[in-house]
Amino acid sequence: MKQIAFYWKWWIGKSTTVSNLSAILGKKWNKVLQIWCDPKHDSTRALLSWKTLDPVLDIAKKIGSSFGLDDIMKVWYSWVNCIEAWWPEPWVWCAWRWITLVMDIIKKLWIFKKWYNYVFYDVLWDVVCWGFAVPIRQYYANEVYIVVSWEFMSLYAWNNIAKAIENFWQRWPVRLAWVIWNERKVKNEKKIIENFAKKLWTEMIAFIPRDNLIQEAEANKKTIIEYAPDSELAWIYEKLSINIENNNKFIIPKPMSENELENFYFSNLN
């Protein structure tokens, strides 16, 4: 079983990427569990025809201690299981308290004893907060993929994730895999991403072009794999799924200092 955490900041296309990977792998008869660990509450919507899946803690409050897997998990195409972990009240729950509690609940339901080929954790990038690091510091995910773009804050987040992996790898065998680049169509973005990947001792596993087809699919409440299965974009996600399936290249990254990061970014803009 491959347990993979996908990290990045909001509105970068992380959840779109994860959902399409789940859809492709599920259609190839892989058993996939997608767990959403991000406050946007939208990770699994494309897989569920844009229906909202109640978060685990809300279900626990409504039903009490008698709830089971069927209450917290919805199924897409019979092979992809979806769990939405979080929808907290602002400024009431901290990420560490919430994610730790949710993962304990899921674990007690023996969900990880079920047969899965893949478990995907869709996680916000802010690993400065202990909570969002739970999937990699509490013995769940051992592979990390990062969905990136060219902006400085995107690189800053990428560098933070590298720092977290560097800190955790001796206690838990978590490793950085390759990065997934979401295009923004700006000058020198390819150079920035490739050079930054080399600095951290990794490389790109996929390039996702900027394409209005993604918005069209969302408007029709579908993944790309359902909406446009013969499109070039669907083929790109298919190739990405194969690369992840066969990937055996994992590294301990070498993050930069903040001064090194700033110097790198501005020297690569032109």
Q: Which of 28, 40, 74, 163 is catalytic?
A: 40
**Can you give the pLDDT at residue 12?**
64
pLDDT tens track of the chain, all 270 residues? 888 888 876 556 678 899 999 999 998 889 999 887 766 666 777 788 777 777 777 777 777 667 777 777 777 766 888 887 765 565 555 665 667 777 777 777 767 767 889 999 888 765 555 556 667 766 678 888 988 888 888 888 889 888 888 887 777 778 888 888 888 888 888 889 999 999 888 888 888 988 899 889 988 988 999 999 999 999 999 999 999 999 988 888 989 999 999 999 999 887
**Can you give the pLDDT at residue 9?**
63
Q: Which of 76, 78, 74 is nearest to 20 (CA)?
A: 76
Q: Is 40 in the active site?
A: yes
Q: Is 9 in the active site?
A: yes
Q: What are phi and psi of 147, to 5 degrees?
A: -95, 120
Per-residue pLDDT of 102-156, as tens digits, reads 777 777 776 776 788 999 988 876 555 555 666 776 667 888 898 888 888 888 8
Q: Which of 67, 132, 61, 52 is nearest to 106 (CA)?
A: 67
**Can you give the pLDDT at residue 266?**
92
Q: Which residue has the tokens 């690569």?
A: 268
**Can you give the pLDDT at residue 243?**
92
What does DSSP say about strands 80-84 and 175-182: parallel, antiparallel, or unpaired?
unpaired
**Can you give the pLDDT at residue 69?**
75
Q: How far apart are CA 120 and CA 25, in angstroms?
A: 11
Instruction: Mention the CATH class of domain 2-267.
Output: alpha beta
Q: Which of 58, 71, 126, 211 is catalytic?
A: 126
**Can you give the pLDDT at residue 16?**
86
